[in-house]
Structure 1
Amino acid sequence: MGEQPFWKTKSLAEMTNVEWESLCDGCGLCCLNKLEDWDTGEIAWTSVGCTLLDGQSCQCKDYPNRQATVPDCIQLTPHEVETLSWLPPTCGYRLVRDGLDLYWWHPLVSGDPETVHQAGISVRGRTISEDDIDVEDLEDYLVTWPLTVGERGER
């Protein structure tokens, strides 16, 4: 019987930086603009991607320096993962936080970074850049698919 993968044996706080970064499945969902209702705290998702989101690769165009360009970009940490309510249901950080296994299409499971796209989980081909719209028009781009992308996925 083989050794268990690190995400089944370590807490988020115990992971090395390499392990932590590898938990990101590359879906790009967290890089979508979200609107928060000030009265209820409810989060509404849009199909509008961050200025640095590459809508085809679903990767950040300048990951190491992203906070210089996008000051409100949230750096995920174990503490942030514990407090953020809007992480997508398929997010590896959220799944590990909640004691669940990763989906079959996660690159750590499949061994292939393309499976997240092949499974229809990612934002590939579904977004518009925030550079192409007026911020006042965000409500015109409300979507629900980021919360349902993993409903039929199997672990």
Structure 2
Amino acid sequence: MTDPLPFWRAKTLDAMTRAEWESLCDGCGRCCLHKLRDEETERVHFTEVACRLLDLESCRCKDYANRKRRVPDCVKLTPARVAAADWLPPTCAYRLVAEGRDLPWWHPLVSGRAETVHEAGVSVRGRAVAERAAGDFEDHVVSWPGRWPAGARTQTSMTKRRKSG
């Protein structure tokens, strides 16, 4: 008897229940960083400036239920928005599933632990700047939110660390 496929491999984003959809968020906080779009080229530039509702330690929204009321330009992801969003980080589970890819080893649904997203260096913990302290966002343009962290692609580094520790 074979193990059934996990829901993110068996279902499209459209077919997921609300609970399944919400559990896809790995809690990295990258999508909660402000982005700047070049008016001439339409290119997206990531910043290290976090939305004022992002808890910089947990990398979760401080008021998720009321985020749209408190931050009107907050984007509520839907399957259609995921397909159209050119600003989602490459590590985003919604993006990965939409592209037909599997979740990485550090995703809490795979690892069984919320901390692995931080241990793998995927989250904004220790890297983001609070919105109110940032000043000019253009002074905070960075490239890392648009890239995979070095140790996040494979489990090798974490496996070795756990075995030796």
What is the distance in 1 between the residues matched to 2:66 and 2:146?
28
What is the distance in 2 between the residues matched to 1:27 and 1:75?
16
Determine the structure 2 residue equivalent to 1:96. 97
What TM-score do you get using the length of structure 2 for normalisation? 0.90
What is the distance in 1 between the residues matched to 2:140 and 2:88?
19
What is the distance in 2 between the residues matched to 1:150 and 1:85?
19
Deviation at 1:151, TM superposition (A): 5.2
Deviation at 1:144, TM superposition (A): 0.5
What TM-score do you get using the length of structure 1 for normalisation? 0.95
What is the distance in 2 between the residues matched to 1:14 and 1:151?
32
Q: Secondary structure at the match of 1:33?
A: strand
Deviation at 1:154, TM superposition (A): 2.7
Structure 2 unaligned residues grouped into runs of 5+: 156-165
Determine the structure 2 residue equivalent to 1:148. 147
Identity of aligned residues (%): 56
Q: Secondary structure at the match of 1:116?
A: helix
What is the distance in 1 between the residues matched to 2:88 and 2:134?
24
Is the Cα contact below 8 Å between 1:48 and 1:128 reproduced in 2? yes
Q: Secondary structure at the match of 2:114?
A: coil
Q: Which amino acid aligns with 2:143?
A: T
1:46-57 → structure 2 map (5 Å cutoff): 46-57=47-58
Kindly report the root-mean-square deviation, in angstroms, between the aligned alpha carbons of the 2 structures: 1.1
Determine the structure 2 residue equivalent to 1:129. 130
Structure with greater Cα Rg: 2
